Amino acid sequence: MIAAIEAGQQASDHASVAPGYATHDVFNQAGALADYNAYTDDTPLVEAVKVFGADWAGETLRRAGANVGSEKVQYLARQANRHLPELKTHDRFGNRVDVVEFHPAYHELMGLIYGDETHSFAWTHQDKAGAQVARGALSYMWNQGENGICCPMGMTFASIPALRHDAQLHDEWAPHILKPVYDNRPIYAKQKRGATVGMGMTEKQGGSDLRATITTARPASNRRGSGAPYLITGHKWFFSVPMSDVFLTLAQTEKGLSCFFASGWLPDGTRNRLKIQRLKDKCGNKSNASSEVEFHDLYATMLGDEGRGIRTIIEMAHVTRLDFAIGSSGLMRQALSQAIHHTTNRRAFQRSLVDLPIMRNVVADLAVESEAMMWMSMRLASALDREHADRTEALISRICTPVAKYWACKRAPQFVVEALECHGGNGFIADHLMERLYREAPLNGIWEGTGNVICLDVLRSMQREPETVDAFLAEIRKARGADARLDAFTDEIERRLANLGEFEPVARRVVEMMAFALQGSLLVRHSTPAVADAFCATRLDGDWGRAFGTMPRGLDTQSIVDRARIPAG
């Protein structure tokens, strides 16, 4: 059915046309990259999943890969981004309802991503080594499917570590949150077949400095502290997924900023005491609703120690940051797949575009960048897997997760722009997937810690816990001796990290170097010689310009592109 609807738009090569449109001969159009498997057709991803011990999850990953690569998901994503969510404050009888109405395509996509256990797999399989890596791969793939649904999925995933601050609340809610079911009914969470989780922290006066929060909470009974009921009043300037079944938020009590857990609807079926003021008219991420919301004595339960709200919610933020590194890596992978597909199937000057030497350099450079991001993300998913049992892994997770978040989010916009240009004018047209990727690309860099905030976080971690520097350098040196350029680069970083006191003005530079070193070490150990060589020659040895496509001569760009190619493309 979908194929029939869209067949006309996807004609490739040469299509004959009806009489009367004699000039409208369609040829040399690349057609759509569709009906592939985003897992099994992605060679570097399959290798990373194996290296980090998650190939036991192959069946789940293959199923998700087939979903993400399907023409159906692409169709649904287009629909969900064309027919945008609408705020309905009142029903037709005048009752205040505060609901958001979505196109059915959005709900169908949510059903698919939840059905693939993208929000839950790591926690429901946490007794198995590699569970976070498998979930990381699920998120990596779904960020190639539709980014708007990755926001609710990611917050639901990340809520579990924060919920652990209150064992009772965790045991009561986690099993429900982890069900592989999406249920869109606007009713009390526990009456549903599954639940989504949101997070409302950012206020008008500033999101980076959460201590400036002015929303207040007062006890609703004689009880105080974690697990006790409170009433919250205030305003949140950004509150994505306002249809969340439950959410975490921050408010001031007598003892300072504290974390709270609230449900969107109450057991009696009424809306909890929140009013959605309006939906944000966003630059991208259109299928997902983000709102401004007021709380008027919102019923909530304190989560974690009173006055230690940032400490509680940071558990969620840490995992969300990993998911943004993974998400931006996935976004880049999709842009790359599209660029390779297009440049392979479009011809100019009697050759496929990708075979033109300068274009080959561009596409190969993007492929190196994409693979480096993927390995870094999966390495940190692996660190999260092992951080409770292994102190070094905990230090690596602590220090390198923000490094990966910073660098993947920082590179995504440039990457997408270059991949878009590979498509020529077609990439700039709104019914092409590239347009959505372009609008989405800057977002992960803003959410959950902007670039500066993230770099300062890395700095603070290294100052507070000098062991993190040792753990980081030891990780890089696992590849010592394999490539002289990597060794020299590592020595230079070690020199710079020895002087943390003067770090702040140059924090971005140092964090960027840390990302390069980690990526270089991973590629040298785990990727092909062609990819590792190109990475070391450019990112580490500096034989590279300021745009993509500026790699030096003599690299095996053919094999780099072939390795990244989706066979169906």
Ligand X SMILES: Cc1cc2nc3c(=O)[nH]c(=O)nc-3n(C[C@H](O)[C@H](O)[C@H](O)COP(=O)(O)OP(=O)(O)OC[C@H]3O[C@@H](n4cnc5c(N)ncnc54)[C@H](O)[C@@H]3O)c2cc1C
Give the binding site for ligand X (CB under 6 A). 199-202, 206-208, 238-240, 282, 285, 290, 443, 446-448, 450-453
User: Minimum distance from CB of 201 to ligand X (Å)?
Assistant: 3
Place of tokens 């857990």: 261
Structure tokens at 170: 């965790």
In which residue are the tokens 């020199």 written? Answer: 495
Q: For ligand X, give the closer residue by CB, 130 or 284.
A: 284
Which tokens go with 234? 């205030």
Q: Do residues 526 and 47 touch, judged by C-beta distance below 8 A?
A: yes
Name the minimum Å distance from CB 331 to ligand X. 15
The torsion defined by the Cα of 24, 29, 34 and 35, in degrees rounded to 10, comes to 80
Looking at the Cβ atoms of 208 and 463, the one nearer to ligand X is: 208
* Smallest separation (angstroms) from ligand X to the CB of 439: 11
Of 39 and 239, which has the nearer Cβ to ligand X? 239
- What residue is closest to ligand X based on CB? 207
> What's the min distance (Å) between Cβ of 507 and ligand X?
9
Closest CB to ligand X among residues 136, 154: 154
Percent of the chain as helix, strand, coil, to the nearest 5: 55, 15, 30
Distance, in Å, from the CA atom of 371 to the CA atom of 58, rounded to the nearest integer, reads 20
β-pairing, 197-200 vs 246-253, is: parallel
**Residue placing its CB nearer to ligand X in the complex, 56 or 237:** 237
**Of 71 and 435, CB closest to ligand X:** 435
133 in Cβ contact with 383 (< 8 Å): no
Q: Give the amino acid at 418.
A: E
Minimum Å gap between C-beta 516 and ligand X is 21
Fill in the amino acid letter for 58: G
Task: Choose between 166 and 203: whose C-beta lies nearer to ligand X.
Answer: 203
Task: Decide whether 41 or 448 has the Cβ nearer to ligand X.
Answer: 448
Pairing of strands 347-348, 351-352: antiparallel
CA gap 292, 240 in Å, rounded: 8
Query: Which element (helix H / strand E) includes 108?
Result: helix 104-115
Query: Is 8 strand, coil or helix?
Result: helix
Nearer to ligand X, 116 or 292 (CB): 292
DSSP string, 138-169: HHHHHHHH-STTHHHHHHHHHHHHHHTTSHHH
Contacts of 277 (CB under 8 A, 6+ apart): 291, 292, 293, 294
- Helix-helix angle 43-51:507-526, to 10 degrees: 90
> CB neighbours of 345 closer than 8 A, spacing ≥ 6?
12, 30, 31, 352, 569
Residues in the chain: 569
Q: How far is CA 466 from CA 438, 460, 469, 494, 538, in A?
A: 38, 10, 6, 12, 30
Q: Min. distance of Cβ 377 from ligand X in angstroms? A: 20
Q: How far apart are CA 247 and CA 427, in angstroms?
A: 37
Name the minimum Å distance from CB 452 to ligand X.
Answer: 3
Least distance in angstroms from the C-beta of 449 to ligand X: 7
Residue 321 and residue 402 in contact, taking contact as beta carbons nearer than 8 Å: yes
Residue nearer to ligand X on the CB measure, 250 or 534 = 250
**The tokens of 284 are what?**
């991208």
Closer CB to ligand X, 343 or 401, in the complex: 401
CB 322, min distance to ligand X, A? 16
Identity of the amino acid at 353:
L
The least CB distance from residue 283 to ligand X, in Å, is 8
345 close to 386: Cβ distance less than 8 angstroms: no
Shortest distance (Å) from residue 198 CB to ligand X: 6
- Residue 526 phi, psi (nearest 5): -120, -20
Q: CB of 437: closest distance to ligand X in angstroms?
A: 15
CB of 207 to ligand X, least distance (A): 2
Q: Are 286 and 238 in contact (CB under 8 A)?
A: no
Position of tokens 């009880």?
223
Q: Quick check: 177 and 159 in contact, CB under 8 A?
A: yes
Q: Closest approach of Cβ 354 to ligand X, in Å?
A: 34
